[in-house]
Amino acid sequence: MDVLDRRLVAALQVSPRASWGEIGRAVGEHERTVARRLQRLITDGAVQVTAIYDDLRSGHGRPVHLHVQVRAGMSAMVADALASRPDTRSVYSVTGAADIGAELVAPSRAALHEILNVEVHGIDGVAGTQTQVVLHTFRTVAEWHAPYLTDEEIELLRPPLPDVVLPDQDGLSPLESEVAELLVADGRIAFTSIAERTGISVPTARRRVASLLERRVLLLRAEVEPSLLGLEVEAQLWLRVRPHGLDQVGETLKRHPGVRYCAATSGTYTMLVQVAVAHEADLYRFLTEVVGPLDDVTDVNVTLITRAYKRGFLRKEHS
């Protein structure tokens, strides 16, 4: 991708359902140029527009992060087996004590025991696992965008959301679940198509989509490999944070443009932060200048992502 491609993808990440004209006006490019470039990237599979649930608030599932140790020579096979599961959102090869990192969304608390202790451990090659349960999410990957836009361009694409306290639980009706699944399959699906496939009117389809997004139980996402955006260093930072400082640390880190994901978890480490930057030097500066000054962070374990097998429930192909 060239510089303009990256700017247009960043704009699509900010507003995945924006029209080509709206994106063009925000970034100062002609609508035809925007349409040609983004349609090419979507057709080629470099960019996929989808949606993800706020699992805990919507009741859609219980997300957990796994550290998986595997027997020698079996990392790729185990990663592929995990990626083939419909309940894994992401699967990575990583550096450090574990060989594979994965996020799995269990349908219920009751199902989690069977999944972790029978199904995952039953995969040939798995030698051991550690599990961290997500307790609170500060930033999802759907809320991140590549750092190539000005604040003014971002505001044109996405006016600030109202500063309201969201309820801990906000379930979906059967119709809302049906609409949500259509958006998960295609985040840019037309309102007319939603209406036709659910048997509702177009205005009702618009209202249902708007409600899901405004309540933030569903988050639109333009998925693209960070390396295509010039962000070739991806890291997962596991932080030990004093309990009284979790909110302040999470709120501080989520605002950094390099942070793709930030959540409080159970386990030895109480916060996971996923970062995408251009170079190892940028990661070093993030550690020393951003994380370092946070007094409530008492320890950091840094692992690098060396390959993505799955992101946002989407399988990744490798040559």
Q: Does residue 46 sit within a domain?
A: no
319 pLDDT above the threshold of 50: no
The CATH number of residue 201's host domain is 1.10.10.10
Asked if residue 305 and residue 232 are part of one domain, the reply reads: yes
E strands, the chain, in order: 48-53, 62-70, 88-94, 100-106, 126-139, 218-223, 233-241, 259-265, 271-277, 297-311, 314-315
Residue at 44 is within a domain: no
Please indicate, yes or no, whether residues 208 and 280 belong to a single structural domain of this protein. no
* Residue reference for tokens 């990440």: 13
Q: pTM value? A: 0.91
The answer to whether residues 192 and 228 belong to one domain is no
Paired tokens of 57 = 């608030």
C-alpha span between 148 and 160 (Å, rounded): 18
* Per-residue tokens: 16: 């995945």
What domain range is 63 assigned to?
55-133
126 lies in some domain: yes
- Check residue 167 and give its pLDDT: 87
Is residue 198, in this structure, part of any structural domain at all? Answer: yes
Is residue 6, in this structure, part of any structural domain at all? Answer: no
**Of the candidates 227, 194, 248, 203, which has an alpha carbon nearest to the alpha carbon of residue 306?**
227
114 in the same domain as 68: yes
Average pLDDT, the chain: 94
What CATH code is carried by the domain that includes residue 85?
3.30.70.920
Quickly list DSSP for 57-125: HHTS-EEEEEEEEE-TT-HHHHHHHHHTSTTEEEEEEESSS-SEEEEEEESSHHHHHHIIIIIITTSTT
**247 found inside a domain:** yes
State pLDDT tens for residues 33-74.
999 999 999 999 999 999 999 998 898 899 999 999 999 999
